[in-house]
Amino acid sequence: FDVVRQEEAPSVLERHFKDLQKKYGAVLAVDLVNTQGGEGRLHERYAKSIEPILSEDVRYVHFDFHRICGHVHFERLSQLYEQIEDYLKKHKYFLLNEKGEKIQEQLGVVRNNCIDCLDRTNVTQSMIARRILESQLQQIEVFGVNDTITKYPAFDASYKVC
């Protein structure tokens, strides 16, 4: 049975993205589903439904996670990061100074579309969070300009547990 009738899906999707924009600002929709089989049909419908609402504040990126990363090559998510890095830098992250004063505000959010949230979504969001955290630590000069979390094995192990 359908949760939403097919003809209603585009208007429901538009309302959802308008709600996200009201709460968070710009929205980057990252579609992680396969392009084959049942997921392929979902991907096609999602891409078609989101097309009319794409704008400066709503961006869509498809990344066929299973085809590119398989079940073990998560380092290949760097290909996705290269596609979204400009968005992440433009829309920033929230940051306070040592006095607790806001010095930077986050102006957007990443919204994943996926089937099995515990797999693709978590791995993808973890990669994005890691990159943002590295940027924050570089900005507040805890890390050097080119330092990454992997340079600090104890910190890296703690990060993976959280």
In a domain, 162, yes or no: no
In a domain, 158, yes or no: no
How many separate domains does the chain show?
Answer: 1
How many Å apart are CA 100 and CA 28, to the nearest integer? 28
- The answer to whether residue 75 scores a pLDDT higher than 80 is yes
Q: Domain range holding 22? A: 6-114
- The answer to whether residue 97 scores a pLDDT higher than 70 is yes
In a domain, 121, yes or no: no
Can you state the percent helix, strand and coil of the chain, rounding each to 5? 60, 15, 30
Residue-level pLDDT at 117: 64
In a domain, 97, yes or no: yes
Length of the chain: 162
In a domain, 31, yes or no: yes
Residue-level pLDDT at 119: 86
Residue-level pLDDT at 115: 86
In a domain, 159, yes or no: no
Selection from 30, 156, 143 nearest residue 88 by Cα: 30
The set of residues, in sequence order, having a beta carbon less than 8 Å from that of 99 and lying 6+ positions away, is none
Pairwise pLDDT comparison (67 vs 115), residue with the higher score: 67
In a domain, 58, yes or no: yes
Residue-level pLDDT at 1: 45
Residue-level pLDDT at 2: 58
How many Å apart are CA 70 and CA 61, to the nearest integer? 19
- The answer to whether residue 157 scores a pLDDT higher than 50 is yes
Write the pLDDT tens digit of every residue in 15-43: 999 999 999 999 999 999 999 988 999 99
In a domain, 147, yes or no: no
Percent of the chain with pLDDT over 70: 98
